[in-house]
Amino acid sequence: MKQNIGIWIDTKQAVIIKLSNNKHAIRIIKSDIETRERVPGESKKFGRFGGQYMTFEKNKLNKRNEQTNKFIKSLLKEVQHCESVVLFGPSKMKNIFEKELSKNLQLTNKLVGVFNSKLLTENQMVAWVKDFYKK
């Protein structure tokens, strides 16, 4: 059974559209990536403890990277058993996911394209993916 997938990806969520036998299925995966967060205890940019200065930027970056990796891993599980994948969306997340696909030797050949797109409704996403695979 031939299965093609289109993924509209953003930092908030990924909409996975699976096409097989002229039917489509939609699955939405939330990312849980916090874009604006505040570390408890953070009051100023720098806090002074003895002769040291401490910043919370590194903690925020590590937490965001961890959340992004978790999101990417959940998307990689969805792509395992398909024949081809196309990525589209407005954010940089599609480029991050493209790099992860290229690192995985089993999934490298499945990626057929990465395209910029604006914010679309679910029906528009399904139509976009169907039009892409008809070509």
Q: What integer best gives the mean pLDDT of the chain?
A: 85
Helix (H) or strand (E) run with residue 71 in it: helix 57-79
Q: What is the mean pLDDT of residues 113-120?
A: 92
The answer, yes or no, to whether residue 46 has pLDDT greater than 90, is no
Domains of the chain: 4-134 (3.30.420.60)
pLDDT at 57: 75
Per residue in 69-83, pLDDT tens?
999 999 999 898 899
Angle between helices 57-79 and 93-103 (to 10 degrees): 60
Contacts of 23 (CB under 8 A, 6+ apart): none
